Amino acid sequence: MKKISWITHPQYDIPLPKNHKFTASKFSDLYNELRVSNFFHRANILNPQKASVDDVSICHDLEYVLKIKNGNLSDKEMKRLGFTWSYTLSNRSFLAVNGTLLTCKEAIKSGIANHLAGGTHHSHRDFGSGYCVFNDMAYASLHLIKAKLVNKILIFDTDVHQGDGTASILKNNDKIFTCSIHCKNNFPFRKSISDMDVELDDNLEDDKYLEILYKTLNNCLKNFNPDLVIFDTGVDIHKNDKLGNLKITTEGLLKRDITVLEFFKNKSIPIATVIGGGYSNDKLELAKRHSLIFKATSMVFN
């Protein structure tokens, strides 16, 4: 069976106070969950190198990048970000952007690759917000196009929250198409304008969701012909998610992932996946939800 590249790093976890809404250990929890899965033998595990300040400046203001590097964020900026600055947070932020870039490069080579992090879509050009320091999807897209590895990229964001940072950073870029399917009444309350926004009502359930998803996939390709898709697989659309307002079951989540993967695989368009958001007090349950995209990948790319 073909190996599938999984990109991760042992320094991805974020030190946070107890009772923080974000699960500090979610990246290592996910890795540990995947280690005991019956598809772990398919994994080709790769670690990214840290990005430089210059690298990150492709999608962020230099002043903001330096604040993250040196720990000069104001209290107000840290409040908006949702995290207190630490060296570990800074270090992992410079690693994770290259994690998504490496995932994209592996996907271009073999059709599919999965990042065990990424999807930090609330990060804007000059500020972080909603637990997102740097915008990995904008970062990876801009670097790939600059290096001429691809011409056109679709960012397909199915996290329950709108990809507002991605939309605003890439708003004038006609080589990158941003599509966000999100719940209207979830954060951010002031939305940006993506190339395609699909707003969902609270309490939406599996069948209707999957119908809208499929329609949106087709609509994206009517407008745009990508040579790579970055798929944000946020699991905060789950009915038990602490922040999301939708009512998608575990089975529905898996179906979403399979639907998207099959759609692009059938068109021979490479797919790089990132995990996006997910919130639960039960960290094992959260790791299981995030592991579904890896399961879906092993099923679709068998």
Applying CB under 5 A, the residues found at the interface with Zn ion are 159, 161, 234, 236, 277
Choose between 130 and 226: whose C-beta lies nearer to Zn ion.
Answer: 130
Choose between 99 and 119: whose C-beta lies nearer to Zn ion.
Answer: 119
Choose between 59 and 275: whose C-beta lies nearer to Zn ion.
Answer: 275
Smallest gap, in angstroms, from Cβ of residue 160 to Zn ion?
5
Tokens matching residue 142:
């801009």
Using alpha carbons, list the distances in angstroms from residue 132 to 26, 115, 256: 14, 16, 24
Smallest gap, in angstroms, from Cβ of residue 164 to Zn ion?
11
Smallest gap, in angstroms, from Cβ of residue 159 to Zn ion?
4
- Give the C-alpha separation, 55 to 225, whole Å: 27
Taking Cα atoms as reference points, which of 72, 190, 60 lies closest to residue 128? 60
By the 8 A CB rule, do 148 and 172 touch? no
DSSP E strands: which ranges in 47-115?
Answer: 112-115
Smallest gap, in angstroms, from Cβ of residue 236 to Zn ion?
4
Tokens matching residue 126:
């000059």
Smallest gap, in angstroms, from Cβ of residue 277 to Zn ion?
3
Residue nearest to Zn ion (CB): 277
Choose between 137 and 144: whose C-beta lies nearer to Zn ion.
Answer: 137
Choose between 106 and 257: whose C-beta lies nearer to Zn ion.
Answer: 257
Choose between 144 and 181: whose C-beta lies nearer to Zn ion.
Answer: 181
Choose between 142 and 246: whose C-beta lies nearer to Zn ion.
Answer: 246
CB atoms within 10 A of CB 78: 15
Q: Give me the half-sphere count of Cα atoms (radius 13 Å) on the Cβ side of residue 94.
A: 20
Smallest gap, in angstroms, from Cβ of residue 107 to Zn ion?
22
Smallest gap, in angstroms, from Cβ of residue 148 to Zn ion?
32
Complete DSSP assignment for 14-66: ----TT-SS-TTHHHHHHHHHHTSTTGGGEEEE-PPPPPHHHHTTTS-HHHHH
Choose between 131 and 264: whose C-beta lies nearer to Zn ion.
Answer: 131
By the 8 A CB rule, do 179 and 195 touch? yes
By the 8 A CB rule, do 282 and 238 touch? no
Smallest gap, in angstroms, from Cβ of residue 237 to Zn ion?
9
Amino acid at 160: V
- Give the C-alpha separation, 198 to 200, whole Å: 7
**Backbone angle region of 87, left / alpha / beta, with phi > 0 → left and psi within -120 to 50 → alpha:** alpha
